[in-house]
Structure 1
Amino acid sequence: MAPTLRRVVALARLRLRVRAGHDALERPVRWVAVSELEDPTPFLEGDELVLTTGMRLAPDDAPAYVSRLVGRGAAGLGFGVGLGHESVPPEFVAAAADAGLPLVEVPRETPFISIGKAVSDMLAAERYEELGDAFAAQGRLTRAALRAGGMAGVVRRLAREIHGWAVLFDETGGVLHAAGEGADKAATLVRGELHRLRAPDGAPASLALSGPHEHVIVQPLGDQRRVTGFFAVGAQRPFSPVGHTVVNTAGSLLALSLEQRRDRLAAVRRVRSAVLRLLLAGEREAARETLAALPGGPDETAFMDGGPFVVLACEAGDAEELQDALPGFTAPWGGVVIALAPVEQAGPVAEAAARRGRVGVSEPVESSGPSGLAAGLEQAQRALLSARPVMRFADLAGQGLLSLVEPNLLSGFAASLLAPLREYGSRADLVESLRAYLACNGHWDAAAQRLGVHRHTLRYRMRRVAELLGRDLDDPAVRAELWMALAVRPPAPR
């Protein structure tokens, strides 16, 4: 943080005297600029203490000169006396007082370079102190990361370091840890912005928001290949360079912790797959002991404690996310996620899984042996092939064949298969003739009577259909495919 003008004028060796703007001495001084120009503002950035002897300034220039300095954001004006002016012209004192600009009188015995050196030394000391604070804060954050519950400790420590709040999210936007006043409310607001940071192509982006009373930074954690989480911090004051350093240090520590967490969870998932293999092999007690050794494992053995249970095969767009979202026992298995749940919990588990993809549900399975589990596993996987969001194996037979096929795929199949008939000149009656022929199971007289045509006409049409499609209409498999295609495409209006 830059020294204030009050600290500069307090240096006894400079013998500076405040002539105006006593109430504005808390302004930061980021540099000292010496200029004898009538308008030095093109060479200023703001927060400078401007020094001049006024040798090219007349008393009437005072209001305009001071106004330009104020407009440029100068910290103050130092007026050197003993050269161009024996004392500070009263017009400059009055103009500075009216504008609220601090004006200090610089005696002849104080070289301007002495003031510049003094401010430079103070800036260097401030910078050294800031670096020391940053190193100390980094040490405290690192120690917090090394203790038990490292991620939560880093979040709490970070909130204290920035005198604000901090929130750590997982890759889905779920809150892992939060600390600091207002963190819960902030987490809800920030979660709605996280989608803006997920870049489908290229590196994920950061987000900075500033308001009158709060300044927020949101950063993704991970790399270009995979975002492992997000963290957000907020404080009432803008973040200084040291603050940014502290935030970046915390981000690095949290990213490392999330990666370690991800590795641990991956290992846990592999163990769950091994537990499922043990159950299929009939090693029930070995499976129970293995699962009980995992974090949360004892709560996942409920399906083993007598009574029937249900097997669910869940479509896994993101297997890790899906497994974390489902209660009870879960395990990756052949490209899907398998969940085992007591019968009374099957409904909530299926509902939770259906929010992320299709679900196949087996019939209740007795927990006494591996054969029941194997049968349930096969039933759940077969039910998953349905196009329905949630399909129970017991309901497959009553749904009809068409309900088990994805509608868009079936529609495309029908359009492609029947296209030669639709494109055959103006003979749109070929499609309806084929429909009647199949509906009457290939009986010429019945089909011709339904269409109101002679059976020889129908025979001619069916020969054209077979030629256009390149299919044998006497083949039962061909008839089944054509009937499915016609079932998707409704009859033409009469």
Structure 2
Amino acid sequence: MAPSLRVVVRRMGLRPLAGSVEGVVVRWVAVSELEDPTPYLEGEELLLTTGMRLESDFSGYVARLVARGVAGLGFAVGLTHEDVPPGLVQAAADAGLPLLEVPREVPFIAIGKAVSELLAAEQYDEIKNAFAAQGRLTRAALRPEGPRAVVDRLAKEIGGWAALLDETGEVRHASPGAQVGTVVAELTRLGALPGHPATGPAAGPVGRPGAGPAAGQAGRPGAGPAAGQAGRPASLAWSGPAGHMVVLPLGGGPRPRGFFAAGSAQPFSPVGHTVLNAAGSLLTLALEQGGARLEAERRLRSSVLELLLAGAPERARAVLEPVGGRLPEEPLVVLAAPDDALEALEPHAFTVLLPESPRDLVSGVTAEGSGAALAGAPARSGGVVVAVVGERAADQVAALAGGPVGASVPCSYGELTGALDQAGRALAAAAGERGERRVVRFGDLAGQGLLRLLDPAAARAFAGALLAPLTRYGSRADLVESLRAYLSCNGHWDAAAQRLGVHRHTLRYRMRRVAELLGRDLDDPGVRAELWIALAATDPATGARPDGREPPT
């Protein structure tokens, strides 16, 4: 939840002049001297101004802010105005807009920093609470009543209700107030229950007539059902007068082994969805038996890897310990292998089957800040197996894969994201090598040249763009090959000219022309490095130009 305006007022020493600050939240701070700043606001901002352009029409100004839903207006005194204009005070009082006097000694940026710190503190508390809730859910799952205890614990965690249904829609356990009838009706409408084909138009759930649920995924309030595997619904989420509800299918097969539903009067926050997903994983773990239980354990390891990538190894250990799992001690090595190595590796290492390549996963983690795609990953996806092992056991475990393996350099848990990327790159190189038992280590790969670490298509595109002015040059002189010889000889004119079979003055003229066409200083080491990479990405044996055209004749 965002910080309250009352806390901001008290912390910054602002003086309320109109409206009430009680129960008002601030989601950001905006500064504007425009007569109408509302096109640039989203709502619930504390708007700060010096009143530079406010001379009249205070009522219209205030009405626009109220219509936009701003949290309050902070008016700085001692610059444009010695005091807050009485007309503005009256207009704010009439409209119920919180109006605050900002003293001359309080900078606007200080208010922005204070709100930012409050927001960060709120987010930290939410994450801490989410981890604590996951621990309580895990302990509940270990109780003799297992799934029932998880359902009851979750209802308390979200301040709402929860229910566990079997694959036919029968209630196995529900907390007080659970809206099971609404859930079963929606699953029936979608044809998610055996013997119940989809019925009726896309009418929305109770309370939203004519507004059918939109395709989405759990974790997004207002989103509705999305198609999953053939014959298997994905998660559902919808809102109505009765509150906000989420339904998740349980089990790893083509048909769910059951359903898990939860509801609350308030929308679920991102942290709330994390708790819901944790409960869903625990319930799946409790439902699955034998081989099905193994599938659930794989999902749990995906969630643990999620925690590791989020920089929480102690939390990850706490999740694994109740189910008898352990993480290896540092230093670590990450191994990557094709998905058919899963059964061979998982008895000997902490192993996860990724739904995508490690490099794609790392890109997603870097952009979004989490590995949320892992938690819902199917146990079998045709992806890549990664195994996190101790450095001493790395060679022994890699040999068990029976096929190409990529290995990272030794790392710590804090370096796990980079190690995943290394293992993925090494596996790509290993898959291209001949020999079924080929193991490629990233350290060896890195020692074979920078181009081995670059995407070939991206390298060729870079070369084409950089060298295009030279390849388009109409002279009979081959400026590209002259540049290659010049850089190969480290800028020594005589050696490069001899290699080309031309006079050094001719080469000097060509290099001046190259510098003019490229608009770059060839004496700059950074420029030389970029040009050499571009030249190395071109195949000199074929005489191909970076732009794919024939050389000039």
Question: Structure 2 length normalisation: TM-score?
Answer: 0.45
Please give the TM-score of this superposition, normalised by the length of structure 1.
0.50
Computing the radius of gyration from Cα coordinates, the structure with the larger value is 1
* Larger helix share, 1 or 2: 1
